[in-house]
Copies of this chain bind each other. A is one copy, B any other.
């Protein structure tokens, strides 16, 4: 359950992709609306935010939003999906060439917190607003989140396979625990009044997961 940043724009259809290639405006607008939504949802909260607010922030009419999104819910969902997809591929890239299991975990953890620490609004949307109602959560958990957790789990089981990590603890459980720990760091950071650097906590968390508390 977490995030990154908006970049590649998932176009709607090939017809649209053409229009897009002509003036670049078509799915630009989807992107513009999406970004506006991140800001608005972060500030007002998803339920309190009105579609008209998002439209205004995006500089378009309310009706226009519905040319790019099926519903208000879909705006939220799309933010999640697009950003998760990026996060996963970003993670994959970061792991290329890194063989040391500890370093691999550290990379993923840093990326996780860097993403959120970089864009506070996006962090708010992911840590708070996306956790609406079971229905929402179930949709999320079933798709990208599973893949994201899988990346963490693989990093752990690779380490276990190489003998660097203990096999005493189930790798899926470790992945969930690590994810949860990072997630909580992010949430605390958002809710905290202090403005500290979130990403810098990644190392301590990984240290904790690698060496444990025991002396």
Contacts and interface: CB of A to CB of B under 8 A. Distances in A.
B45 A47 contact: no
A32 interface: no
What's the number of copies of this chain in the assembled complex? 4
Nearest to A165: B213
Interface stretch (A5-13, A55-63, A79-87, A130-138): A130-138
Given A124-B134, A164-B214, A188 B204 contact: no
A208 interface: yes
A181 B177 contact: yes
Interface of A: 1, 42, 45-48, 102, 124, 128-129, 131-135, 137-138, 141, 156, 159, 163-166, 168-170, 173-174, 176-185, 187-188, 190-191, 201, 204-205, 207-215
19 contacts: A1-B187, A1-B191, A45-B135, A47-B47, A102-B214, A128-B131, A128-B133, A131-B131, A137-B187, A163-B215, A170-B204, A173-B201, A176-B184, A177-B181, A181-B184, A208-B212, A210-B213, A211-B212, A211-B214
